[in-house]
Amino acid sequence: MPGLGARLGRGGATTTQQSLADSDCIVIMGSNMAENHPVGFRFVLKAKTRGATIIHVDPRFSRTSALADIHVPLRPGTDLAVLGGIINYVLNSERWNSDPFFKEYVTHYTNAPLIVGEEFKDTEELEGLFSGYDPGRRRYNTDSWQFASQPATSAQRQQPQAGSEPERHATGQTGEEGQAVTGNYGSALSHQAEEAEQDHGQTAEPYSAQVVPHAPPLVDMTLQHPRCVFQIVKRHFARYTPELVEQISGVPRDLLITVAETLLQNSGRDRTSAFCYAVAWTQHTIGTQIISCCALLQLLLGNIGRPGGGILALRGHATIQGSTDIPTLYNLLPGYLPMPSTQAGHRSLREYLAAEQSPTGMWFNMPRFMVSLLKAWYGDAATPENDFAYDLLPKISGDYSFEAMIPMMADGVMKGLFCLGQNPAVGGQNAVLVRKALANLDWLVVRDAYEIETAAFWYDSPEVRRGELRPEQIKTEVFFLPAALPGEKEGSFTNTQRLVQWHDKAVEPPGDCRSEPWFLYHLGKRLKELYQDDDTPKGRQIRALTWDYPTKGRYDEPDLEAVLEEINGFTVADGKPVKSFRELADDGSTACGCWIYSGIMPEKGYNRARNRKGDDKAALDWGFSWPNNVRILYNRASADPQGRPWSERKRWIWWDAEQGRWTGYDVPDFPANKPPDYRPPEGARGLDAHAGDKPFVMLPDGRGRLFVPSGLLDGPLPTHYEPWESPVGNLLYPKTPRSPVAPLFERPDNPYHEIGDPRFPYVITTYRLTEHHTAGGMSRTVPWLAELQPEGFVEISPELAAELGIANGDWVVVSTLRGEAEARALVSDRIQPLVIHGRKVHQIGMPWHFGYKGYAQGGIANNLSALIEDPNSRIHEAKSFTCNLRKGRIAREGERPL
Amino acid sequence: MRVVQLLKTHAGRVPNPVSEATRQAHARIRGADVAVSVCPYCAVGCSQLIYTKDGRIIDIEGNYESPINGGTLCPKGAATFGLLTSPLRETRVKYRAPYSDHWEERSLDWVMERIAQLVKQTRDATYEETDEHGVPVNRTLGIGHLGGATLDNEENYLIKKLWTAGLGIVAVENQARI
Amino acid sequence: MSARESQGNGRAGTTGARPGALGFLTDTTLCIGCKACEVACKQWNQLPMDDFGFTGYSYDNTGDLGATTWRHVAFIERVSDREGRRPTRLKAFQSNWLMMSDVCKHCVYAGCLEACPTGAIIRTEFDTVVIQQDICNGCGYCVPACPFGVPALSLTDGKAHKCTLCYDRLKDGLEPACAKACPTDSIQFGPVEQLMERAKRRVADLHTQGVTEAYIYGDREVGGTGGIEGLNAFFILTAPPEVYNLPAQPELPQRKVLPAFLSTAAAALGLGLAALLSLRRR
């Protein structure tokens, strides 16, 4: 989600599924929504029934396309070129330039009027690179991407470059907003010093004093200055003409114009358009920039923060949003605090905060969030004297993302692995290497409801079946612990629209099945005991950890509402839950496990995730939506700069001058009593530094970012680069065909195909089906789902089938330099060859669910994919790479597929 | 022809005998206990009702009250009952010794202790107190973790807290990147 | 007369359904082919998986209605035109990839019920057609008696099975499982009269939105023909019935019995007379 985080402030869907019903145009791109989120799609159909136009941009004609008005086929991996083409058309269109709405939205709510420093050079000038590129390190120095500012006053010392904080931005800044920090903007205006004291404390908050606001930036409200963001954006995308976009993507030029025109006609004061995307945007080496490009377009069209507008990120797993908010991710701490890193100079708490705290905007509060987290984790061992035990928190100094872990295991650096509800033997990229890596572990713990491929790899896998590996050669000690499933345990999921919902327990789990909390809690207890006499740092670390939760039930399950209470935060002295993150302090008097979830349990026994009354317009009493129960993010933008609804039809929240507060259908994602005409006094910090017409509370200046001066590793503006494996070069920038900063894993067991490699002439894309769930552990094992899609298949066009003499239902083998997979051919018009760079390029599609366990089986698509990442999100590229295809089998006739 | 038509239609209206089983038929969730749950598959977040009798799940359906799914479910959500009750579901601990070619039965208590011992062993052997510049890092790269997106928020919290803050395991990852 | 032309007829949208009859409206223009209905049906009715295997026929691997598949979603791909071109501007609400959730039609006059010699098949108080499993002896007479091919004999218990319109759920005032699960309201449940009114409005809406092919299948004009007088589970379709593997003008096979009997009798009589006459001549 860094794409959304970098431009808008938070790495989360900006809108709700229900709000799609209020859309006038919905573009589904990078998602097959009808198939993968069928229930969410009902809101698309509601909009459709009310007359909205539905556009599906996708390489395949899918069940989503079947319900759309327009299907736009494109070559996988060229989404950014298509979006760039739309932006170029929009900026030069008559409607955009004649309807004052667009310029009003853009000048007030985005950084379009800001002037960029003279040193900045765009890709237009450097043949596909931005200024600051270091080819040796394959990295950018972002110094030249900064805004020009007014001369600094003596009080304003130079701040650490935002570019030195890649971790936070790279994973998507996010967080809570909510109400005014001080609660009173009148006094903030007239008694600035007093307010600062009241707000940030004077004695007990030593950390907040470190930051001083930047000098104000130079702006040109006419948007005419040649170095203003607006003009830079316009020049940057000028190259994305319909003709060139057609050459790159295969999208006919008139179709591109139709899409752009439809969006324009359905954006404005009275109309809104929404985008829905999913992992078909993230899984590219430029995935973050594809998403950020969409955010840029939606800002230009004035669609962010408004009902029926926004960007709906569609997640695949029940709490994939939650597992990013409360991250089981190596580079994040809960609430999108960056994980301390030696590379980012986080050697001490002071250095950490100096690098990460922002003088203005929400992140001014970072010390409160961080200190409260340390108090939650290390309790009494965290004191002001020892910097709240910051040293006990481990530090990262490299990439330990999922992809990086695979070589670590294969090379013997990582010796033990826990898999709790994940199936890397099927779901991991370069799955051949994954299984080799598993075989090199000393021990492996798999907790799942079914014996998934990852648990069985030592006696069953394509390698074992082919005789290349035998159990007697594999040293790994393997533990399979059966897991309890929802229904057999309680807890909360955070859905695709940031909505936290609690699920109750219905029955006890069967046999040895236990919940993850049971496993973790009791394992933690045992480990604490094993280390009780160890006074070295590793002993002190585990001993300092607070690990006392009340237990209940037949199996001594930890009480998860007690865990949720810790996540919510409480005052240390009396254990009373905090009502909001505003009560958190940086003096150790509060503890909080994840500040953006503060308010979910505002009092003991009141679990708002368990709220189940959803009959008002925004369903505010159904679950708890972070931040602060806001449903549509940045909803200050649903009103005009003066605080009035843009139109009657699109009203959502607005300024009530009589009551002196924002009101409407939703919780304002804005200080509730900050008037639209509020202007910050000089030296204001935190949210006080944002004017009353700046909706993007997370960002330092409150403006949505058309231009991102820091936080994205591959440039301040989205640029199309070809997938790492592509049949063609980059027509936009021939000298920079591929992402110049994509992290590579160059090793003999992870070879890449060169551009245009004749041995691998076809473009392959991988995807899910309605009937299955991800790596199949929860669906290929369920009879009713297995029978619907019982066997792996590859979708190919009739044209390619004819060329290769393949009939529908024939066995085929797909191959790359990483591996092979066999499957049945499903020949269909729904797949089509496209004309790219003047020649016909065939594409094939392969669902990646299948494996060798469960009822439904089939060749593993990830045997084909490679370890290669997006630099920002460290997400792999499985939506577009190259392959070969032949008729035939790997397994012998009658055998199960490999 | 009218007579023929009457005969035919009349034939169709002759009531057949209603059996006792038919008379007694009723929804099996009549009188069942119900718990409110959330679908464990994708991130749409459909609310589900889990019906139980005598401590056993008898049915799982959509919850009409939900502003998201309004009672509906997709095929995966509708198959949640099958997820919990599939014949392939594992309910016993399994253990495979190094170089062995078969699973063995072990007690939950035994594997918990064994895993705790292995974690300590691997952690102690690979723990780094400082990096090469003497900066405290207090971590181990010897142990990794995968999973979280299918689990609960509270579970993710406990994973991150125990592994990272308690044991210094930094390679903690989930499907968010997959 | 084509299906579309029939919409101009005054009898379009009328049904012989008895007052208060309950049924389904399956609006294929809203179907996304997710098969939630198939699974929800199997879940509620505890039906096993069957016919396990890859068919290569679009995304449909369950094939047909059967003894253990009481809802079935058919997929009909019509993506490219005759020249192999794939259009990009589509008629909304399904045009190039048809999906249709098929089910027992619960005919107003049901062939299966009339054919059943044991009295196992009844018309319920909800005007639905149900096979009573404790009476059915597996004779299979109902199988050819259905013009839609719905009832099927089970290989496990030898009896005939089909959709009950969730008779057990109806008894408790609950919505049938498939209609409840359907995420897009493609399957709607309710009194047939209301559903028919809704269907007529929906077809009119579709026509104004450019989907001029849309029509009701299962009124007295199309599908509810040949003595059936209407389907309590009826459909909105956008292509001729045959495209969905439905008969355009189904008839109750029994309707053919009397004319066939009479003509056979007449023939026999004629033959007899002829024989008599010829004997006489000798």
CB A323 within 8 A of CB B151: yes
Select from C130, C174, C258 the Cβ nearest to the Cβ of B4. Answer: C258
pLDDT band, very low/low/confident/very high, at B14 (cuts 50, 70, 90):
low
Q: Where are the domains of chain A?
A: 1-151+225-310+632-716
Among A450, A501, A538, the residue with its CB nearest the CB of B47 is A501
pLDDT at A192: 33
Select from A320, A330, A613 the Cβ nearest to the Cβ of B43.
Answer: A320
Q: Which chains touch C (3 or more CB pairs under 8 A)?
A: A, B
Long-range CB contacts (within 8 A, 24+) of C157-160: C159/C131, C159/C133, C160/C67, C160/C112, C160/C120, C160/C131, C160/C136
Q: Binding site annotation covers C72?
A: no
Averaged pLDDT for residues A668-672: 97
* pLDDT tens string C231-279: 999 999 999 999 999 999 999 987 776 677 777 778 888 888 888 877 7
Q: Is the CB of B58 inside 8 Å of chain A's CB atoms? A: no
Task: Give me the pLDDT at residue B6, please.
Answer: 47
Amino acid C173 reads G
Residues of B in contact with C167 (CB under 8 A): 22, 25
How much is the pLDDT for A206?
Answer: 55
Q: Which of A90-99, A263-272, C89-98 has the lowest mean pLDDT?
A: C89-98
Task: Name residues whose C-beta falls within 8 Å of residue A186's C-beta, 6 or more positions apart in sequence.
Answer: none
Q: What's the domain range around B169?
A: 109-177
Q: For chain A, give the mean pLDDT.
A: 92
pTM: 0.93
A201 has pLDDT over 50: no
Max Cα separation, chain C?
Answer: 80
Name, in order, each residue with C-beta under 8 angstroms of A155's C-beta and a sequence gap of 6 or more: A212, A683
Nearest to A430 by CA among A728, A727, A752, A723: A752
What is the distance between the alpha carbons of residues A424 and A404, in angstroms, rounded to a whole number? 13
Q: pLDDT digits over A122-176, tens only?
A: 999 999 999 999 999 999 999 999 999 876 544 444 343 333 333 333 333 333 3
How many Cβ atoms from other residues are within 10 Å of residue A613's Cβ? 11
CA dist., res. A535 & res. A542, Å (int): 10
Cβ within 8 Å, pair C43-B25: no
CA atoms within 13 A on the CB side of A84: 26
Closest to B176 in 3D by CA, of A890, A11, A464: A11
Give B-chain residues touching A40 at CB under 8 angstroms: 44, 68
Q: Is C182 annotated as a binding residue?
A: yes
Report phi then psi at A577, rounded to 5. -60, 145
A100 burial type by CB count under 10 A (0-12 exposed, 13-18 middle, 19+ buried): exposed
Which residues of C, range 82-121, sit inside 8 Å of B by Cβ? 109-110, 113-114, 116, 119-121
Mention every residue, 6+ apart, whose C-beta is less than 8 A from residue A778.
Answer: A449, A450, B40, B41, B76, B83, B150
Contact B29, B35 (CB under 8 A): no
B38 is a domain residue: yes
Cα separation, A863 vs A245, in Å, equals: 32
Residue whose structure tokens are 């739309």:
A86
pLDDT surpassing 90 at residue A90: yes
DSSP E strands, A135-243: 139-140
DSSP for A551-573 reads EETTTTEE-HHHHHHHHH-EETT
pLDDT, tens digit, 9 for 90 and up, residues C165-193 = 999 999 999 999 999 999 999 999 999 99
Residues B120 and B84 in one domain: no
pLDDT for C131: 98
The Cα A360–Cα A38 span in angstroms is 41
- Domain parsing of chain C, residue ranges: 3-251, 257-282
Q: Is C261 annotated as a binding residue?
A: no
Per-residue pLDDT averaged across B149-176, rounded?
Answer: 97
A409–B164 C-beta distance less than 8 A: no
Q: Return the ∠ at Cα B172 (arms to B171 and B176), rounded to 5°.
A: 120
For B104, which residue in chain A has the nearest alpha carbon? A479
Assess contact for A256 and A70: CB atoms under 8 A. Answer: no
Cα separation, C192 vs C186, in Å, equals 15
Tell me the pairing of strands A570-571 and C187-191.
Answer: unpaired
Residue B123, in any domain of the structure: yes
- Tokens standing for residue A349: 């708490």
Instruction: Find the angle CA(A188)-CA(A219)-CA(A673) to the nearest 5 degrees.
Output: 25
Q: What is the mean pLDDT of residues A59-80?
A: 97
Whether the CA torsion B76, B81, B84, B85 is positive or negative: it is: negative
Query: Taking 70 as the threshold, does the pLDDT of residue C55 lie above it?
Result: yes
Q: For residue C254, give both structure tokens.
A: 């029994």
Do A436 and A468 touch, CB atoms closer than 8 A? no
Helical spans, DSSP H, in A238-365: 242-249, 253-265, 279-282, 287-300, 322-325, 349-356
Residue C34, annotated as binding a ligand: yes
How confident is the model over A241-284, as pLDDT tens digits? 999 999 999 999 999 999 999 999 999 999 999 999 999 999 99
Give residue-wise pLDDT tens across range A673-698: 999 999 999 999 999 999 999 999 99
Q: Provide φ and ψ at B64, rounded to 5°.
A: -55, -30
Domain total of chain B: 2
**Is the model's pLDDT at C5 over the cut of 50?**
no
| C43·B78 Cβ contact <8 A | yes
What is the Cα–Cα distance from A730 to C87, expressed in whole angstroms?
Answer: 28
List of chain B residues whose C-beta atoms are within 8 Å of the C-beta of residue A318: 38-43, 45, 149-150
Mean pLDDT of the region A223-235 = 98
Mean pLDDT computed over every residue of chain B: 93
Q: Closest approach of chain B CAs to the CA of C32, in angstroms?
A: 10
Asked whether residue B117 is domain-assigned, the answer is: yes
C116 is in an annotated binding site: yes
**pLDDT of A198 over the 70 cut:** no
- CB neighbours of A536 closer than 8 A, spacing ≥ 6? B129
Q: Which region holds residue A388: left if phi is over 0, alpha if psi is between -120 and 50, else beta?
A: left
pLDDT of residue A742: 97
Question: According to the model, what pLDDT value does residue C94 have?
Answer: 86
Tell how strand A624-625 and strand A311-313 pair up: unpaired
Q: Would you give the DSSP letter of residue C47?
A: P
Return the closest-CA partner of residue A609 out of A300, A224, A266, A325: A325
Cα separation of A694 and A700, whole Å? 10
CATH number of the domain that B68 lies in? Answer: 2.20.25.90
Q: Average pLDDT in the A838-864 region?
A: 96
**Residue ranges in chain C assigned as alpha helix (H):** 3-6, 36-45, 111-115, 142-145, 167-171, 177-181, 192-208, 257-281
Measure the CA–CA gap between C130 and C120, rounded to whole angstroms. Answer: 8
Determine which of A158-167, A590-599, A881-890, B58-67 has the lowest per-residue pLDDT on average: A158-167
In this structure, the number of other CB atoms found within 10 A of the CB of residue C157 comes to 12
**Mean pLDDT in residue range A351-370:** 95
Residue A627: is the preceding peptide bond cis (ω within 30°)?
yes
A138-141, long-range: CB within 8 Å, 24+ apart, which pairs? A138/A740, A138/A741, A138/A742, A138/A743, A139/A713, A139/A741, A140/A713, A140/A714, A140/A715, A140/A741
pLDDT bracket for residue C3 (50, 70, 90): very low
Of A46 and C6, the one with more pLDDT: A46
Secondary structure element (H or E) that encloses residue A811, with its range: strand A811-815
Task: Please state which CATH number belongs to domain C3-251.
Answer: 3.30.70.20
Alpha carbon of B156: minimum distance to chain C alpha carbons (Å):
30
Tokens of A356: 């990460």
C36: which chain B residues are within 8 Å (Cβ-Cβ)? 72-75, 77-78
Q: What spatial distance separates the first Cα and last Cα of chain C, rounded to whole Å?
A: 53
Structural element, H or E, at residue C217: strand C215-217
Total number of residues shown for chain A: 898
Question: Hey, what CATH class is A1-151+225-310+632-716 in?
Answer: alpha beta
Q: Is residue C121 a known part of a binding site?
A: no
Task: Note the residue count of chain C.
Answer: 282
pLDDT in tens, A464-522: 998 889 999 999 999 999 999 999 999 999 999 999 999 999 999 999 999 999 999 99
